Amino acid sequence: MTQTQRIGTTRQARQVSRRGFLATTGGLIGAAAFGPTALARATTATRLGAGTYFPWVQVGKGIHAAIDLSSGGNVMVATGTSAAVMVDTKFPAFAAALKREAESFGSTVTHVINTHHHADHTGGNGVLKGEVDVLMAHNKAASRIEGQLARYVGAARGGPRQIDPERDSFETVLEEAQVAVEQSEGWTAKDFVPDALITSEREELTVDNIDLVLYHFGPAHTDNDVIVHAVEANVLHTGDLCFNGLHPFFDSTAGVTCRGWSDVLGEVIELCDNDTVVVPGHGDITDRDGLKTQQQYMDQLWEHVAAEVAKGTAKADVEAMSWSFMDGLGFEQIRSRAIGVVYDEVTAAADG
Ligand SMILES: [Zn+2]
């Protein structure tokens, strides 16, 4: 397909996409969610027909994503001729629905990849283990996942209350969430742990006719971040390396590093061209510019906090601050946590 043909097709897709979103998601993903820059690049996004619980969009050839703030991290599915690969599993209550809806694109989900250990990306592992052939994550995610059983069980028990009665397929998804509650009584930590571990910076994974490249560029959001690149479709799932339009979550227990996060984003930006579609961990579909914006957040956060540390400003006072690059972002409740964690990182760097 030539570049010209592709642009012609995607312009049409963009118009369908925008109308489709506004008509079917009831403001769940509002008009403002797709800024002009993201729209200009992530133009292959097309809302699928009504009937699914999740607002699935097609983000590339054979690639779909469930872009949904309310149910955990964004999920991506790559569908081949006879198998499909799912990236991330949200919370336990949603996993059966995710698999069922993902398989409506044509193939059975055989492989699951976790972008990192956080429970909003791995909570469905316990439901899917045994249902899929392979569960993959980074080497360093395994012990962290194994330590989260209580969190998974708690999330499963609270699951039925999380199912949105306003959405399509509500009753089916509610039943599936209730099954997860029953299953949770028998779960052990091992039920969530991946059985295939990613140990190098770059690994190729071929499943059926799906070619993926998995990257781990070192500590950033956690010590076990994995980026999934669907090369032919030119789509990247970045996991929580990107919070699009949102304050990023800083987890000091998981090896987060602001400097590392910026560096790793630099590596991920290098994987992109003008047409790359980026599925972020949270927030709407974006592109290379969205990754640059996230990198600028990290760089400016570091600069501002370092300036305050140099002046001797107390941590609590810095945590209460906000700067213009933070204006208008969602997840305001985790803003001061980000500042506090970076304060500690700046202080440690100065001491070291
Ligand atoms: Zn996370």
Mean pLDDT (the chain) is 88
- Sorted by where each starts, the structural domains of the chain and their CATH numbers stand as 3-351 (3.60.15.10)
Q: Indicate if the pLDDT at residue 9 is higher than 60.
A: no
Question: What pLDDT, on a 0 to 100 scale, did the predictor assign at position 124?
Answer: 98
**What would the pLDDT profile of 53-95 be if each residue is shown by its tens digit?**
999 999 999 999 999 999 999 999 999 999 999 999 999 999 9
Find the 193 Cα to ligand 1 centroid distance in Å.
17
Find the 313 Cα to ligand 1 centroid distance in Å.
29
Confidence at 262, pLDDT banded by 50, 70, 90: very high
Contact 298, 346 (CB under 8 A): no
Find the 40 Cα to ligand 1 centroid distance in Å.
27
Proportion of the chain above pLDDT 90, given as a percent:
85
**Residue 21 dihedral angles phi and psi, to the nearest 5°:** -60, -50
Q: Indicate if the pLDDT at residue 284 is higher than 50.
A: yes
**What would the pLDDT profile of 179-232 be if each residue is shown by its tens digit?**
999 999 999 999 999 999 999 999 999 999 999 999 999 999 999 999 999 999
Find the 201 Cα to ligand 1 centroid distance in Å.
19
Bridge partners, 47 (sequence order): 57
Find the 219 Cα to ligand 1 centroid distance in Å.
12
Find the 248 Cα to ligand 1 centroid distance in Å.
9
Find the 217 Cα to ligand 1 centroid distance in Å.
16
Find the 312 Cα to ligand 1 centroid distance in Å.
31
- Going by C-alpha positions, the residue among 87, 73, 88 that lies closest to residue 242 is 73
Find the 198 Cα to ligand 1 centroid distance in Å.
18
Q: Is the dihedral of CA 145, 151, 157, 159 positive or negative?
A: negative
Find the 249 Cα to ligand 1 centroid distance in Å.
7
Find the 221 Cα to ligand 1 centroid distance in Å.
7
Q: How far apart are the first and last CA of the chain?
A: 53
Contact 336, 319 (CB under 8 A): yes
Contact 237, 226 (CB under 8 A): no
Amino acid letter at 176? E
3-state secondary structure the chain: CCHHHHHHHHHHHHHHHHHHHHHHCCCCCCHHHCCHHHHHHCCCCEECCCCCCCCEEEEECCEEEECCHHHCCCEEEEECCCCEEEECCCCHHHHHHHHHHHHCCCCCEEEEECCCCCHHHHCCHHHHECCECEEEEECCHHHHHHCCHHHHHHHHHHHHHHCCCCCCCHHHHHHHHHHHHHHHCCCCHHHHCCCEEECCCEEEEEECCEEEEEECCCCCCCCCCCEEEECCCCEEEEEEEEECCECCCCCHHHCCCHHHHHHHHHHHHHCCCCCCEEEEEECCCECHHHHHHHHHHHHHHHHHHHHHHHHCCCHHHHHCCCCHHHCCCECHHHHHHHHHHHHHHHHHHHHC
Find the 122 Cα to ligand 1 centroid distance in Å.
10
Confidence at 350, pLDDT banded by 50, 70, 90: confident
Find the 118 Cα to ligand 1 centroid distance in Å.
5
Confidence at 295, pLDDT banded by 50, 70, 90: very high
Find the 176 Cα to ligand 1 centroid distance in Å.
24
Find the 254 Cα to ligand 1 centroid distance in Å.
9
Find the 259 Cα to ligand 1 centroid distance in Å.
17
Find the 262 Cα to ligand 1 centroid distance in Å.
16
d(CA 79, CA 86) in angstroms, rounded, equals 9
